[in-house]
Amino acid sequence: MSDFLHELRRRRTFAIIAHPDAGKTTLTEKLLLFGGAIQTAGAVKSNKIKKATVSDFMEIERQRGISVSTSVMGFEYRDLQINILDTPGHEDFAEDTYRTLTAVDSAVVVVDAAKGVETQTEKLTQVCRMRATPIIFFVNKLDREGLDPFDLLDEIEKKLSVKVRPLSWPIGMGQRFQGVYSLYERRLVLFQPHGKQQEEESIVFEDVQDPTLERYIGESAARQLREDVETIEVVYPPFDREAYLRGDICPVFFGSAVNNFGVRELLDCFVDIAPLPLPRQTEERLVRPEEEKFSGFVFKIFANMDPRHRDRIAFLRVCSGRFERNKNYRHVRLERDLKFPSPTMFMASKKTLLEEAYPGDVVGLYDSGNFKIGDTLTEGEVLHFKGIPSFSPEQFRYVENADPLKQKQFAKGLEQLMDEGVAQLFVHQSDGRRIVGTVGLLQFEVLQYRLEAEYGAKCRYEPIQLHKACWISSDDPKALQEFLERRKRDIARDRHGDWVFLAETAWILQTVQENFPKIRFRFTSEA
């Protein structure tokens, strides 16, 4: 087998998604501990311990204890290169998460054992289902009292329209939590609070009917476990990897991420069953990872990862071929060649220089303003990767520069943060005023905070009454021109110069759609 194919087969790239507070960032961190990528875990949201979790490296994230941007982390485990994309759980940042899901091959969904399936989990799982992305569930916080495991599985199946198959099973919960039985490996793993996984007691039990089980977990827990395992074998389909890869069946693991428990079982099974880098659809054709020629797309842009250096990094998913440092690649939209002397790979906020990367890898490219989300790099072929969405905003404010002496910094900061996808900017055609549109209210705060912290510029917001912004187009240029004339005061352009209709109310939007049948109104704009 060639070196290229060997490297390709070593890659596993996945996202961790969840509702806020389900323990997603903690799980990410524990996976990194197993990979030896970090030595100590940061305490999440702890004022006593000043370390923040490894993957939350923006100041506002540290203060609020939430992830507001996707972090990319790579580590080696069992001779495989694992790439984790930790995503924001907060619904105001869902758009970033949706885009991230275009760059992964599978997902791990974290569910809080006490709260069950929450709204954000539903939305994000739906996006995975639309793409038939394989999903593994991790039911977290078993060291606390929670819902009955069978009730949880029912809820996951009903609310998320998926079929599940438990591959590990909890023994008790909360105060009575004794450990998990791995149905995948047929092993009993006993729980030690705040234990180190390698010191944990782990006993091979080919058969739970083995009479020595009582010695480890007691008579009543042993009886319950045997009944539960029997029920699982009868009620749930046997695990089938092909069905998992098609997205038809979702394995479920139980554990406690904060106690580092049940995480190794999840990781060991994941590296066995998770998909290799998958083909990607472009407007022109299907791109396969094993193709010789390099191609990749930008799914995220992050300005000022390190505020001491005004750096801006484009995150590129390698889709085919081998990416090499200092080699010329074609920027398809700009129609020019670029080369990258210092591409990076990430370990949370630490960056290391990269000589080459393979399909499935995420590469950080230093960017002086050449990239937008959705841009493609190739070895010359014109390709446009599909499915990287911008969503129609639901919250709107006029944005004004609050310090006339900082006009330059304000304009630059606004432009760069918009490139990053923090929010969307529209310019009103009638009066030239700038309008910021976001999916959630928290993004206004993040924008204001980052303009000041990273660019030394201040902004102020003014209210504007708007219901929706939607992109407009028409096959009939005359009809479009007439529409733009007639609705002049409701028309804006987005940052790419595309026409946008700003509807003040739902009723106006509906009326306008009826009155102008030749105009198409779109609520997502695919980059």
Among 20-34, 59-73, 189-203, 463-477, which range has the highest average pLDDT? Answer: 463-477
Structure tokens at 407: 């006009």
- Identify which of 196, 198, 180, 182 has the alpha carbon closest to the alpha carbon of residue 143: 180
Q: Are residues 339 and 301 in the same domain?
A: yes
Question: What pLDDT digit, counting tens, does each position of 421-457 carry?
Answer: 778 899 998 889 999 988 777 778 888 888 888 889 9
Give the number of C-alpha atoms closer than 13 A to the C-alpha of residue 161, restricted to the C-beta side: 10
Q: Are residues 165 and 148 in the same domain?
A: yes
Q: Are residues 259 and 338 in the same domain?
A: no
Question: What pLDDT digit, counting tens, does each position of 493-521 carry?
Answer: 988 888 999 999 989 999 999 999 999 98
Which residues does residue 138 pair with via DSSP β-bridges, in sequence order? 110, 253
Which residues are CB-contacts of 464 (< 8 A; sequence separation ≥ 6)?
A: 396, 397, 398, 435
Domain with 465 in it: what CATH number? Answer: 3.30.70.3280
Domain with 346 in it: what CATH number? Answer: 3.40.50.300
Q: Are residues 263 and 284 in the same domain?
A: no
Q: Tell me, yes or no, whether 83 lies in a domain.
A: no
φ, ψ for residue 28 (rounded to 5)?
-55, -45
Please state the domain count of the chain.
3
As a whole number of Å, the end-to-end CA separation of the chain is: 37
Please, are residues 102 and 299 in contact by the beta-carbon 8 Å criterion?
yes
Question: What pLDDT digit, counting tens, does each position of 153-168 carry?
Answer: 999 999 999 999 999 9
Residue 362 CA to residue 428 CA, distance in Å, equals 37
Q: Tell me, yes or no, whether 93 lies in a domain.
A: no
pTM: 0.76
Q: Tell me, yes or no, whether 7 lies in a domain.
A: no
Greater confidence (93 vs 467) lies with 467
Q: Are residues 125 and 260 in the same domain?
A: yes
Q: Tell me, yes or no, whether 2 lies in a domain.
A: no
Which range has the worst mean pLDDT, 21-35, 146-160, 272-286? 21-35
Question: Average pLDDT of 303-320?
Answer: 73
Q: How far is residue 20 from each of residues 86, 144, 506, measured CA to CA in Å?
A: 12, 17, 30
Q: Are residues 286 and 221 in the same domain?
A: no
Q: Are residues 453 and 349 in the same domain?
A: no
Give the DSSP per-residue string, 157-170: HHHHT--EEESEEE
Residue 502 structural domain: 392-526
Residue 166 CA to residue 252 CA, distance in Å, equals 4
Q: Are residues 457 and 365 in the same domain?
A: no
Q: Are residues 230 and 169 in the same domain?
A: yes
Residue 153 CA to residue 167 CA, distance in Å, equals 12
- Among 228, 258, 273, the domain-final residue is 273
Q: Are residues 194 and 136 in the same domain?
A: yes
Q: What is the pLDDT of residue 389?
A: 60
Which residues are CB-contacts of 223 (< 8 A; sequence separation ≥ 6)?
A: none
Q: What is the pLDDT of residue 63?
A: 52
Number of Cβ within a 10 Å radius of residue 140: 28
Q: Are residues 436 and 514 in the same domain?
A: yes
- Average model confidence (pLDDT) for the chain? 83
Structure tokens at 312: 């801006």
